Amino acid sequence: TETFVGHQVLRITPTSDEELQVVQELQDLEELQLDFWLEPRGPGYPVDVRVPFPSLQSFKAHLEANGVSYSIMIEDVQALVDNEQTELLRSRR
Amino acid sequence: LPLSTNTFDYATYHTLDEIYSFMDLLVAENPNLVSKVEIGRSTENRPLYVLKFSKGGTNRPAVWIDTGIHSREWVTQASGVWFAKKIVVDHENDEGLASILDQMDIFLEIVTNPDGFAFTQTQNRMWRKTRSKQSGSVCIGVDPNRNWDAGFGGPGASRNPCSETYHGPYANSEPEVKAIVDFVKSHGNIKAFISIHSYSQLLLYPYGYTRTPVPDQKELHQISEKAVTALSSLYGTNYKYGSIFTTIYQASGSTVDWTYNQGIKYSFTFELRDTGRYGFLLPAKQIVPTAQETWLALKTIMLYTRDHLY
């Protein structure tokens, strides 16, 4: 089973085409294993991306280096997934 | 398993088997209204079940609703279960719904991508696509919302089998998609088609593969406005609406572009709530409020369809 320990979901809201491009360039880097929950659409629209733990540091550094602000929408994906499983088991009981 | 659909827990997520058992219970409890149709088999040979709600007649005008085509969007399958029960509970005492069923049938496919859904419950909660194998690639699966024969393979889908938006080797390559295509073509009298996704609180209509507005754009926009107003009236959930292309991005090979091009004028896609915080991991306690508010929008679309049959 795939686990998501340390994965975070970041919410980025590009404010310009330049910032949007920074995000889209990251989208093409397959080695980062990014999972775009909300794809880049245009300036002003939120982009949600699940970032695996190994890529987190470099991903955030790249955004910060390019002045692209972001917020952490989900601090620890695995914690929410575990929550869900607990709920599922509880309701089954 | 619950003894009846009255004791079924709608405020929690369920496994594929529990949802299939729920369907059988609902049919057994309401043989004069609900029947279960198998429209095909998935890649891994799971049955593709559609619930039919009908007061009789043959090949009557119909509304199609599907949930769960992207398997990780769990709030959609859970909402589909709630819709099924709602139709049964309200089919006589809700005047609007009763009048819809007086004239039309409702088809509801709750688990449109069972292989992917089972995979999210056993191997990878974040799985979105089907589970078909791709020759020449180690990657698995096709995005079932890019596999339809409407602008297929154009911009707004990926040709890379490892991408989440991989359109597949050819249109309708996925049995989950082909089954619906065959059903829609053989039925021939579907007047509204609603495909439900999550998340980002949008009500969308064609086209996604081109910026060109559909001929019925004005009418679809008006219907969307009514439906979103009804939805937001319950909990104030804020929705946007418009064509796929102008509201989110270019997406080729999508479900409702194909259904619209088949002549099903009232073709819509929902992106249900996440309240801006949980994405695909919406807590189970939000299932029922999400289903309740969405139901108001669905009823608005179905009532409009009933009054504007074509």
Q: How many CB atoms lie within 10 A of CB B61?
A: 16
Q: Is the pLDDT of residue B1 over 70?
A: no
Residues 6+ apart with CB under 8 A from A3: A78
Which H/E stretch holds residue B49?
strand B47-53
Active-site residue, from B73, B109, B176, B271 = B271
Mutation target for A interface from B162, B202, B281: give the one with most A CBs within 10 A. B281
Inter-chain residue contact A9 with B279, CB threshold 8 Å: yes
CA-based nearest distance A6→chain B, Å: 15
Helix, strand, coil distribution of chain B in percent, nearest 5: 35, 15, 45
Inter-chain residue contact B9 with A91, CB threshold 8 Å: yes
Residue B219 catalytic?
no
Q: How confident is the prediction for chain B on average, in pLDDT?
A: 97
**Which two tokens mark B238?**
């804020």
Rounded CA-CA distance B20/B42 in Å is 15
**Which two tokens mark B178?**
């082909």
pLDDT digits (tens, 9 = 90+) for B256-296: 999 999 999 999 999 999 877 899 999 999 999 999 999 99
**Which two tokens mark B137?**
């690639």
The beta-carbon neighbor of A50 closest among B14, B123, B126 is B126
pLDDT of residue B275: 77
Q: Is the pLDDT of residue B107 over 70?
A: yes
**Which two tokens mark B109?**
């496919």
Beta strand pairing status for B190-198 and B47-53?
unpaired
- Percent of the residues in chain B that have a pLDDT greater than 70, as a whole number: 99
pLDDT of residue A90: 85
Q: How confident is the model at residue A93 (pLDDT cuts 50, 70, 90)?
A: confident
The amino acid sitting at B305 is T
Q: Is the pLDDT of residue B2 over 90?
A: no
Q: What is the mean pLDDT of residues B159-177?
A: 97
Give the 3-state DSSP-derived string for B231-293, with helices as H, strands as E and coil as C.
HHHHHCCCCEEEEHHHHCCCCCCCHHHHHHHCCCCEEEEEEECCCCCCCCCCCHHHHHHHHHH
- Percent of the residues in chain B that have a pLDDT greater than 90, as a whole number: 97
Q: Specify the range with the lowest mean pLDDT, choosing from B73-82, B159-168, B269-278.
A: B269-278
Rounded CA-CA distance B164/B157 in Å is 9
Rounded CA-CA distance B11/B26 in Å is 17
Residue B17, CB-side half-sphere exposure with 13 Å CA sphere: 5
- Which backbone phi and psi does B140 adopt, to 5 degrees? -115, 145
pLDDT of residue A29: 87
Inter-chain residue contact A37 with B279, CB threshold 8 Å: yes
Residue tagged 């079932």 (tokens): B144
Q: Is the pLDDT of residue B26 over 70?
A: yes
Rounded CA-CA distance B60/B78 in Å is 27
Mutation target for B interface from A13, A86, A91: give the one with most B CBs within 10 A. A91
CA-based nearest distance B253→chain A, Å: 17
> Count of CB contacts below 8 A, A vs B?
58
β-sheet bridge partners, residue B272 = B198
The beta-carbon neighbor of B281 closest among A36, A40, A81 is A81
Rounded CA-CA distance B131/A48 in Å is 24
Q: Is the pLDDT of residue B209 over 80?
A: yes
Inter-chain residue contact A4 with B125, CB threshold 8 Å: yes
pLDDT digits (tens, 9 = 90+) for A4-43: 999 999 999 999 999 999 999 998 888 899 999 999 988 9
Q: How confident is the model at residue B34 (pLDDT cuts 50, 70, 90)?
A: very high
Q: Is B1 on the interface with A (CB under 8 A)?
A: no
Would you call B208 helix, strand, or coil by DSSP? Answer: coil
For residue B1, the chain A residue with the least C-alpha distance is: A92
pLDDT digits (tens, 9 = 90+) for B113-141: 999 999 999 999 999 999 999 999 999 99
Inter-chain residue contact A87 with B12, CB threshold 8 Å: yes
pLDDT of residue B76: 98
The beta-carbon neighbor of A84 closest among B13, B15, B276 is B13
Q: What is the mean pLDDT of residues A55-69?
A: 95
Rounded CA-CA distance B239/B52 in Å is 29
